[in-house]
Amino acid sequence: MKEIDFLPEWYKQGCLQQKKHREFYIALGLIVFIMAAWSIFANGRVVVVKARNTTLRNAKLIQERSETEYNQADGEYRQLKSRCKILDSVKSHIVVSNVIAELTHLLDGGIILKKLEIKAEMIGGQSGKTGIKVISTAGGRPTLSEKKVRFRITLTGLAADAAQVAEVINRLEQSDYFFQIVPSFSRNTTTGQYQASEFEITCYLANYRLAN
């Protein structure tokens, strides 16, 4: 038995064309879908990379800022340390109130003190010699001192007479606070209607000694 095909050729060709068009559109849709998915994925990666770069850049800025702050702090510390050394080098290491209290105890009521001068001076002339060292006795216990400085005290005032001036010198010599007592001058003077003896005495604060 032979089958007879009643469908025209143009109909068959149309169905074939529609099938090809359908396959083409499906393939095109898949391509568009893949491209859209890839674009979303790529954009997501770009966002992640940008965020990571921003984080790294912020971390770098924080690190640089920390290094800058550290360098500034270290510089300030070095400056303060240098200033502390300078201050320590010029620090007198004496208690002026104690010196004044001792002088007040030594000078009786008949002495009028006109001027009290405490001046630091280098010992260079002697401490620079071979075998001479500066020994500080400021705490009651002798210790080697790197500061070759001593303190010269000058007392200028009025006494009733020369005998009272001699008594002042004797008291200074007996005090543990002072040594090398040297009278600069002692002369008679008139104060108002009274006769007095004007004097000047120099000595050194006994917070050190020189030792071979």
Band (pLDDT 50/70/90 cuts) for residue 1 is low
For helices 162-174 and 96-106, angle between their N-to-C axes, nearest 10 degrees: 130
Q: How many CB atoms lie within 10 A of CB 92?
A: 13
Band (pLDDT 50/70/90 cuts) for residue 203 is very high
Partnered with residue 155 across adjacent β-strands are 116, 201
Q: Taking all residues of the chain, what is their mean pLDDT, rounded to a whole number? A: 78
CA separation for the pair 157, 154 (Å, rounded): 10
Band (pLDDT 50/70/90 cuts) for residue 202 is very high
Q: What is the DSSP-derived secondary structure letter of residue 7?
A: S
21-63 pLDDT, tens digit per residue, is: 888 888 888 888 898 888 888 888 888 888 888 888 888 888 8
Strands 178-191 and 194-205, sheet pairing: antiparallel
Give residue 180's Cα distance to chain centre.
Answer: 40
- Residue 53 amino acid letter: N
- What pLDDT score was predicted for residue 2? 57
From the list 118, 107, 115, the residue with the least C-alpha distance to 159 is 107
- What pLDDT score was predicted for residue 200? 93
On whether the pTM is more than 0.85, the answer is no
Partnered with residue 33 across adjacent β-strands are none
CA separation for the pair 113, 155 (Å, rounded): 7
Band (pLDDT 50/70/90 cuts) for residue 201 is very high
- What pLDDT score was predicted for residue 7? 64
Whether residue 120 contacts residue 92, with contact meaning beta carbons closer than 8 Å, is answered with yes
Q: Using the predicted structure, report yes or no on whether residue 123 has a pLDDT greater than 80.
A: no
Q: Using the predicted structure, report yes or no on whether residue 173 has a pLDDT greater than 70.
A: yes
SS3 at position 70: helix
126-156 pLDDT, tens digit per residue, is: 444 433 444 444 444 444 444 567 889 999 9
Q: Using the predicted structure, report yes or no on whether residue 113 has a pLDDT greater than 70.
A: yes
More confident residue, 133 or 64: 64
Can you read off the two tokens belonging to residue 212?
Answer: 């071979």
Let me know the angle formed at the C-alpha of 205 by 210 and 96, rounded to the nearest 5 degrees: 140
CA separation for the pair 181, 170 (Å, rounded): 9
